[in-house]
Amino acid sequence: MTDYNNEEVVKTQSKVNDTEAQSSDTESTTYVINTLVNEDHEHEIKLRTMTWQRAAWLLAGDQVCLAIMAQSWSLSVLGWVPGIITMVLSGILFYITSLTMHKFIMKHPQIKDICDFGYYAFGKSKIAYEFTAIMLLLNNIMLIGFHILTGAKVINTLSDHSMCTVIFSVIATIMGIVLSLPRTLNHVSFMSMFSAACMGIAILLFLIFAGTEDHPGYGYNGIYPKAGPVHTYAFPPEGTTWVAAMNAVLNITFLWVPQILFPTFIAEMERPQDFPKALAVLAGISGFLFIVPPAIGFRYLGQYATAPAFGSLSSIVHKKASFAFVIVPTIIIGTIYSNVSAKFVYGRIMGKSRHAHSNTVLGWGVWVAVTAAIWFIGFIFAEVIPSMGDFLSLLGAAFDSFFGFIFFAFAYWQMYRGNLFSSFTRSVKTVTHLFIMLCGLFLLGPGLYAAVEAIKDDYSGAVKPAFSCANVAI
């Protein structure tokens, strides 16, 4: 088991704090970061090697994902006005909370992952550390399971269901294990470049096909034109339930909340101070891709929008041509979540032994075993859960409420308690973080209720059997 903090670094930081009369907080943080980087670079396996440009690619590879193609469906449920407002507000809060996270980590540069972040944000609570660890593993492994299922869905679509879906899931799992073998995120960031590029091509092809086709193929209300001519609307259509609307909101917020990975990303940067540069690049990319393509998709698909929107295309050839590129981001994003999860488990197993950061047979053997176990558990989730989509809504409500909102409201309070209203600017930021806390509690309360109700509706009908060979093609 690892320590809850790096004791040597804390001692170093204490010495530095004793001389704060002669040096600023920034100089103190820089000194500690340099100490951590120098210590890391003495190891055979060097983790703290990412530049901010590589970090930007890693962020983009994680965020430019299939979930973008589910946003047209969210707009079809919420309508233009509530949908766009939710998207823009989620983006603004994402950027604010991410900056708060970075600022907090700069005050505690020994933080290695979200578990360490929870430990410090909640007043050095060991309970918070362990609770966060459980949420980290559940969240990441279930997301890996979703990506395994998505991989099987892609192969099913391309092959016209030529084999049992379980076999396709096994193929996706094996691909994920192989690509997850690199130990450093610097190597994974190189793969992320191809991931983001392939997802971008898939989105572009979808937009071209949606705009050139005479009409959509089908939607959740039936094959075109059963639900009438394609049309869009400003507000939720009549008959929209609270559960449907709340799940559409969760679908949007889920896309905007990847901060569970950010502390690990920052911990592997050579200059963590530069993370805001990578974040700015991500914010620009996300602000465009999370709003513009879904809006265009809703314009052409209207009430026939499905999640993912590829399923609404009327031409089988168009579906396959655009959906084929999704296999790359599907596996590589699963690889990113696997890397972060495996690092946490591996650290708890290996502790501070030489195997933790050296090219030893034991070290690599444990790393491969942990990685394979994580993907295997994800495979089990993918096969036994009847509707991974609804369970992701459950994750969004239960976990994103903490990792996207509540954690950072607490971190802000830890940093500025005692002078929360010391100036006008500070007061505005305090009120903003209070609103962030309320958003997190809203997702945790009504949001969690809506997600549970959706899962109950799934179980009330025909439930997909475990390890089913059924065709899951779009």
pLDDT in tens, the chain (474 residues): 445 445 444 444 444 444 343 345 777 889 999 999 999 999 999 999 999 999 999 999 999 999 999 999 999 999 999 999 999 999 999 999 999 999 999 999 999 999 999 999 999 999 999 999 999 999 999 999 999 999 999 999 999 999 999 999 999 999 999 999 999 999 999 999 999 999 999 999 999 999 999 999 999 999 999 999 999 999 999 999 998 999 899 889 989 998 999 999 999 999 999 999 999 999 999 999 999 999 999 999 999 999 999 999 999 999 999 999 999 999 999 999 999 999 999 999 999 899 999 999 999 999 999 999 999 999 998 888 767 667 667 777 888 899 999 999 999 999 999 899 999 999 999 999 999 999 999 999 998 888 888 878 777 776 677 888 988 898
Burial of 277 from C-beta contacts in 10 A (0-12 / 13-18 / 19+): middle
Query: Which of 209, 452, 237, 401 has its CA nearest to residue 311?
Result: 209
Looking at residue 265, its amino acid is F
**Nearest-angstrom CA–CA distance, 414 and 155:** 48
Domain span at 58: 48-460
List b or e across 396-406, with b for residues whose CB sees 16 or more CB atoms inside 10 angstroms: bbbbbbbbbbb
**Nearest-angstrom CA–CA distance, 355 and 344:** 15
End-to-end CA distance of the chain: 44
Q: What is the pLDDT, as a whole number, of residue 397?
A: 83
Q: What is the dihedral of CA 337, 85, 405, 189, to 10 degrees?
A: 30
**Domain harbouring 221, CATH code:** 1.20.1740.10
Residue 90 parent element (H or E): helix 80-107
| Strands (DSSP E) found in 198-238 | 218-219, 222-223
Give me the half-sphere count of Cα atoms (radius 13 Å) on the Cβ side of residue 406. Answer: 18
Contacts with 352 (C-beta within 8 Å, 6 or more apart), sequence order:
2
Whether 114 maps to a domain, the answer reads yes
Query: Which of 375, 354, 379, 374 has its CA nearest to residue 364?
Result: 354
Q: What is the pLDDT, as a whole number, of residue 21?
A: 35
Q: What is the pLDDT, as a whole number, of residue 24?
A: 57
Q: What is the pLDDT, as a whole number, of residue 375?
A: 98
Q: What is the pLDDT, as a whole number, of residue 28?
A: 83
Q: What is the pLDDT, as a whole number, of residue 247?
A: 87
**Number of domains present in the structure of the chain:** 1
Whether 2 maps to a domain, the answer reads no
> pTM of the entire structure?
0.92
Whether 182 maps to a domain, the answer reads yes
Query: Which of 395, 385, 435, 405 has its CA nearest to residue 247?
Result: 395
Residue 63 parent element (H or E): helix 52-63
Q: What is the pLDDT, as a whole number, of residue 388?
A: 66
Looking at residue 433, its amino acid is H
Q: What is the pLDDT, as a whole number, of residue 462?
A: 67
Whether 34 maps to a domain, the answer reads no
Whether 214 maps to a domain, the answer reads yes
Query: Which of 198, 122, 183, 206 has its CA nearest to residue 409?
Result: 122
Q: What is the pLDDT, as a whole number, of residue 158?
A: 95
Whether 386 maps to a domain, the answer reads yes
**Nearest-angstrom CA–CA distance, 147 and 251:** 16
Q: Which tokens hold the place of 216?
A: 């959509």
Residues in the chain: 474
**Nearest-angstrom CA–CA distance, 386 and 264:** 31
How far are the Cα atoms of 133, 212, 239, 240, 454 from residue 244, in angstroms, in the given order? Answer: 31, 30, 10, 7, 8
Backbone torsion region of residue 302, taken as left when φ is above 0, otherwise alpha when ψ lies between -120 and 50, otherwise beta: left
Whether 453 maps to a domain, the answer reads yes
Q: What is the pLDDT, as a whole number, of residue 450?
A: 86
- What are 269's strand-pairing partners? 50
Q: What is the pLDDT, as a whole number, of residue 456?
A: 81
Asked if 257 and 400 count as a contact pair (C-beta separation under 8 A), the reply is yes
